[in-house]
Amino acid sequence: MHNRRTFLASTVAFSACAASAPDAMFAAPAKKRILILGGTGFIGPHQVRCALARGHQVTVFNRGRSGKGMFGDHVEELVGDRGSDLEALKGRTWDVVIDESASQSSAPEWVERSTALLRDRVDQYLLVSTRSVYLDTSRVPMTAAAPVLTRENSPVAAGQPLGYGHAKAYAEKAAHAAMPGRVTVVRPGLIIGPEDDTDRFTYWPVRIARGGEVLAPGDGSDHVQNIDVRDLVEFQTKLVENRTLGVFNAVGPQGGQPFRQFLERIQQGVQSTATFTWVDADFLAGRGVRPYSRELPAFQVMRGRTAGFARFDLSPEIAAGLTFRPTEATARDTLSWWQTLPAERRAAQKAGLSVAREQELLAAWRARA
């Protein structure tokens, strides 16, 4: 997906951090030496661009599989493996680590290993965690104080690997245990925007831009909160520049927005005349189209255990510097990026309803009762 040419082109096209420099919380940073565990993949290049735009010195550490050489001379690249080979990190010092690659069931061990090696060689450890750490999202509003998954409150069968949310929750614990009082945890929801290879948000602007009758899930009142990757890395850069410690969620906008407004804003952003047919979420689930699944990405039903899924109160995060760009802008920029991809990639949509499946569901909805 990435190479050096696209990294440099994107530095111009999508550089958010420089544009927001007048922000008072984001002025005149002390230059930091930042180690990014990861740095390629999806959020990595955005984080690298933001840090470089702010004048920081960046080193990345990864296996060299997903973007080797993409940064040219701008960044020091170290090669290793979080599970088996940290040799390249030995004997080095940085001001701060941004850990955005601990995402497997082995995440707790990976964080234990990297913090054991780096705790006396870095000042601050920022761990990119996830909204999935919560035991559930039933509270309205949700905040970082809600309980997270543990083996006690949500048992894991013997011999089974930890699930994603569990692993991230234990990775957070590992970071706090190794570097008490020097950890920043960021828990993003669905990360969206240009260069997201999962198509989970991208489906919506691409589908709406195509026009015609769009199947819209629910009745339009279920809320949605996610985070533009550029807002996320900008927030993380502020947390590093200001040495802000603690646990923060990263979704937006504040309080969430109804799905109807979300789709209408996407429609505005991609300038489409599409129409929406709202189809009951239970009707869809009865046909195997469940919320937050591959076929129905970015949508969640606001009831029971997910009543607060998109009702986070982000007051502490906003005070710490989190901002949200308009959904219209995310949609427009994501569609622009999508249109630069090869036709074969665009034909192989990874999330959302196929044309045939959408037609089939709309016909069934019309024929109900």
Asked if 249 and 309 count as a contact pair (C-beta separation under 8 A), the reply is: no
Q: Put residue 47 in one of left, alpha, beta given phi > 0 → left and psi -120 to 50 → alpha.
A: alpha
To ligand NAP, the closest distance from the beta carbon of 134 in angstroms equals 12
Binder among 16, 17, 34, 43 for ligand NAP (CB under 6 A): 43
> Counting Cβ atoms within 10 Å, is residue 6 exposed (0-12), middle (13-18) or buried (19+)?
middle
Number of amino acids touching ligand NAP (CB under 6 A)? 24
3-state class of 257 per DSSP?
Answer: strand
* 83 binds ligand NAP per the rule CB under 6 A: yes
* 47 binds ligand NAP per the rule CB under 6 A: no
* 65 binds ligand NAP per the rule CB under 6 A: yes
Sites for ligand NAP among residues 190-229 (CB under 6 A): 190-191
Which token pair is 324? 């949200």
| Neighbour-count burial for 31-55, b at 16+ CB within 10 Å, e otherwise | ebebbbbbbbbbbbbbbbbbbbbbe
Asked if 62 and 43 count as a contact pair (C-beta separation under 8 A), the reply is: no
**What x-and-dash track marks residues 231-270 binding ligand NAP by CB under 6 A?**
----------------------------------------
* 303 binds ligand NAP per the rule CB under 6 A: no
To ligand NAP, the closest distance from the beta carbon of 154 in angstroms equals 18
Considering the complex, state which of residue 101 and residue 272 has its C-beta at the smaller distance from ligand NAP.
101
Asked if 334 and 277 count as a contact pair (C-beta separation under 8 A), the reply is: no
* 103 binds ligand NAP per the rule CB under 6 A: yes
* 176 binds ligand NAP per the rule CB under 6 A: no
* 97 binds ligand NAP per the rule CB under 6 A: no
Q: Which of 62, 26, 60, 81 is nearest to 244 (CA)?
A: 26
Cβ-proximal residues to 97 (8 Å cutoff; 6+ apart), any chain? 34, 35, 36, 37, 114, 118, 122, 124, 125, 126
CA distance 123 to 1: 33
* 45 binds ligand NAP per the rule CB under 6 A: no
Distances (CA, A) of 283 to 80, 291, 297, 323: 48, 11, 16, 36
* 126 binds ligand NAP per the rule CB under 6 A: no
Binder among 76, 81, 95, 328 for ligand NAP (CB under 6 A): 81
Considering the complex, state which of residue 294 and residue 357 has its C-beta at the smaller distance from ligand NAP.
294
**Which residue's beta carbon is nearest to the bound ligand NAP?**
41
* 128 binds ligand NAP per the rule CB under 6 A: yes
Point out which residues bind ligand NAP (CB under 6 A).
38-44, 62-66, 81-83, 100-103, 128, 130, 188, 190-191
